[in-house]
Structure 1
Amino acid sequence: MNQTVYIPKPVGPLEDPTTTLLELMLSSDLTFLMEAHDGISSAIAAQAGFKGLWASGLSISSALGYRDANEASWTDLVGVVERMADASGLPILVDGDTGFGNFNNARLLATKLLQRGAAGVCLEDKTFPKMNSFVGSRHPLADVSEFSGRLKAVKDATGNDLVLVARIEALIAGYGLDEALLRADAYADAGADAVLIHSGKSDAHEILAFAQQWNQLPIVIVPTKYYRTPVDTYRKAAISTVIWANHAMRAAVASMRAVCGRIVAEESIAGIEPEVATLDEVLDLLRYDELASAEDRYLPKPG
Structure 2
Amino acid sequence: MSTRKQLKALVAARRGVLVPGAFNALSARVVADLGFEALYVTGAGITNMWFGLPDQGFMGLSDIADHTARIRDAVELPLIVDADTGFGNALNVRHTVRTLERAGADCIQLEDQVAPKRCGHFSGKEVISTEEAVSKIKAAVDARQDQDLLVMARTDAAAIHGFDAAVERAQKYAEAGADILFVEAVTREEDIRALPQRLAAPQLMNMVIGGRTPIFDSRQLTELGYGIVLYANAALQGAVAGMQKALGALHNDGVLQESAGLVATFAERQRLVGKPALDALEIRYA
Structure 1 pair 128/195, CA: closer, same or farther in 2 (3 Å)?
Answer: same
Q: Choose 1 or 2 for highest CA Rg.
A: 1
Residue 87 (structure 1) aligned with residue 71 (structure 2): no
Secondary structure at the counterpart of residue 277 of structure 1: coil
Select 2:203's aligned residue among 214, 219, 224: 219
- Cα pair distance change 1:19/1:271, threshold 3 Å: closer
The structure with the largest helix share of the pair is 2
| Aligned partner letter, 2:50 | L
8 A Cα contact 2:32 2:75, kept in partner: yes
Shift, 1:271, TM fit: 7.6
| DSSP 3-state at the match of 1:172 | helix
- What are the superposed Cα offsets for residues 205-253 of structure 1, whole Å, 9 maximum, x if unpaired? 22222222222x1011102244542433212221111111110000111
Superposition map of 1:162-173 within 5 A: 162-173=149-160
TM-score computed with the length of structure 2 as normaliser: 0.93
Q: Could you report, residue by residue, the CA deviation over 1:75-107 in whole angstroms, capped at 9, with x for unpaired residues? A: 011111111111121111011111111112212
Q: Matched residues in 2 for 1:188 and 1:49: separation?
A: 31
2:169 maps to what in 1?
183
Task: Please tell me whether residue 207 in structure 1 is matched to residue 221 in structure 2.
Answer: no
AA aligned to 2:243 is M
Give, in angstroms, the shift of residue 46 of structure 1.
Answer: 0.4
Question: Structure 1 residues 266 and 209, CA, compared in 2 at 3 Å: closer, same or farther?
Answer: same
What is the Cα deviation at residue 41 of structure 1?
0.4
Pairwise CA RMSD: 1.7
Q: Distance in 2 between the 1:87 and 1:55 partners?
A: 13
Q: Indicate yes or no: 2:109 matched with 1:125.
A: no
The C-alpha deviation readout for 1:94-133, integer Å capped at 9, x for no partner, is: 1111111111221211111111111111111111111112
* Consecutive unaligned residues in structure 1, runs of 5 or more: 1-14
Counterpart pick for 2:274 among 287, 292, 299: 287
Question: How many Å separate the matches in 2 of 1:295 and 1:42?
Answer: 24
Output the amino acid matched with 1:96. Answer: A
Q: Percent identity, please.
A: 28
Which residue of the partner structure matches residue 266 of structure 1?
Answer: 253
1:184 maps to amino acid: A
Instruction: State the distance in 2 between where 1:113 and 1:273 align.
Output: 42
Q: 1:134 aligns with which of 114, 121, 146?
A: 121
CA positional deviation for 1:135: 1.8
Question: Number of residues paired by the alignment?
Answer: 281
For 1:46, the equivalent position in structure 2 comes to 32
Question: In 2, distance between residues paired with 1:58 and 1:220?
Answer: 17
Contact 2:186–2:192 (CA under 8 A) maintained in structure 1: no
Contact residue 97 and residue 123 of structure 1 kept, 8 A: yes
2:22 is aligned to: 36
Q: What are the Cα deviations for residues 166-189 of structure 1, in whole angstroms up to 9, with x where unaligned?
A: 00212132x223212221221112
Quote the offset at 1:267 in angstroms.
Answer: 1.8
CA contact (8 A) 1:141 1:169 kept: yes
**2:158 counterpart SS class:** coil
* Shift, 1:48, TM fit: 0.5
CA contact (8 A) 1:82 1:117 kept: yes
Change (3 A) 1:200 1:218: closer
Q: Distance in 2 between matches of 1:271 and 1:48?
A: 21
Letter in 2 for 1:213: R
